[in-house]
Each structure stands twice: as structure tokens, then as C-alpha cells.
Amino acid sequence: MGYLYDLWDDFISLLFPRLCYGCGNHLLRNEKLICTECYIVIPRTNYHLDSENPVAKLFWGRCYIEKAAAFSYYNRGSRISRLIHNLKYKGIREIGFELGRIYAISLRESDFMKDIDLIIPVPLHPSKLRSRGFNQSDYISAGVADATGLPIDNVTLTRTTVTDTQTRRSRYERWTNVEGTFSVCDPDRLKEKHILLVDDVITTGSTIESCTSELLKIEGVKVSVIALAYAVV
């Protein structure tokens, strides 16, 4: 029976080729979304093993973050950038879940996740959410939750102001673009919690800084941060 299924699967793949969203190569029978080559060659930062990594240093003197890390490096045309593009703009939501799960497996093998209480995806404004149809950070967070068993809270932190795209903005312009755009609707739900903020790409850190500044107003809150990629600028 398994042999017949494999033949049928091969036939369907000839008619409707399944391609890797990272490199465009044909996926093999047991591959899904991301080919084995991409899984192997996408460079890992391993920032979660170094408390003084470049992502953590990004926030020094700006806001107090317990730990910060990113899965890979975001370079134009790289495999990880194509994966994130297919996630955000092509609507391949499963990519977010799979990359979040893969990253979380590495994180849980270190002390990085040791005292995290819950996951909060960086929110989109409701109008942007309606336009896109989903929040990519929700799916990344779902993958992290699947691998760690941590709960997700995607309702308490909200984005209250529509912001223009951050692309091609300077560090200062990015900060002023997101300053004061987030709020917490029920602070008591987050008291004394160690929150893991999850985003897709960290560039200057302005969005994370704005989120963190709001969260740290709550009694006893601690914030750590992860993203799928860190933009090398």
C-alpha cells in the first residue's frame, strides 16, 4: 500500500511540482516547504548562546531586555529572506510555523527559554491585519509554542496606531514612526510574567523597543526577544 502511495505521490509531483520556498528547488518525497539543503545551509547565528550578541547589544541603553536572539541573518536575496517574503507577502503561513518550531528546538536545548512564562507576537494594527489577512508573528509564535509548550497571548498587547513602512528609514525615523504605537489592554494579565516577544525580522530594533517600553510599565514584567532574522546593515 505504501508503495502505491509513493507512486501516486511521485505522479502528482510531476504534474504539480512542489518547490522549496527558500531556494526554488524541487522538494523530495519527505520534504515539506523547506528542502534539506536549505535547512542545512541557512546560517544560524547561535546568538542564544551569547548574552552579549549583536541583537542584545542593539537594545543596550535603550530599553531593558533580559535576553535577545535571532535565528539567522537577513540579507537581500538570501534563503531566509525568500522564506520570510513568501510568508509575509505570498501568504504561505506554514513557513512561519515551521521556522518558529525549528528555532525553538534549538532554544529549548539551551538556557534561553528557562524562565519564560508566555509568548507574545508583535502585533499588527487591525487595519493591516485585515488587509494582509494574518499576522506573520502569530504563526512564528505558534511554532515556538508547539516546540516548547508555552502559552501564547496575542490579545493583550495591541498596536493602536497605523505606521508607514519602515523600509529605507533611518534608525531615528524608525523610532519616531513607532513611538507610542502600542498599548496593553489588560495589564493585570501580564503582572510578574517573563514575556518572550516574537517578530519576523529585527533591523534597528525600534518596533521591539516600543513594545518593550510599554510592557515594562507593568509591575514585575520582564521581556526577552527572538526573531527569525537579524538584518545586517
Task: Give the other-Cβ count within 10 Å of 122's Cβ.
Answer: 25
Q: What does the block give as the cell for 112?
A: 534561553
> Do the beta carbons of residue 223 and residue 217 sit within 8 Å?
no
The three cell numbers locating residue 194? 517573563
The pTM score is 0.87
Report residue 155 as a C-alpha cell: 490579545
The pLDDT of residue 7 is above 50: no
3-class SS letters over 31-68: CECECHHHHHHCCCCCHHHCCCCHHHHHCCCCCCCCCE
Cell numbers 512542489: residue? 18
The model's pLDDT over 122-181, given as tens digits with 9 standing for 90+, comes to 999 999 999 999 999 999 999 999 999 999 999 999 998 866 554 555 555 544 555 668
Q: What is the mean pLDDT of the chain?
A: 89
Neighbours of 154 (CB within 10 A): 17
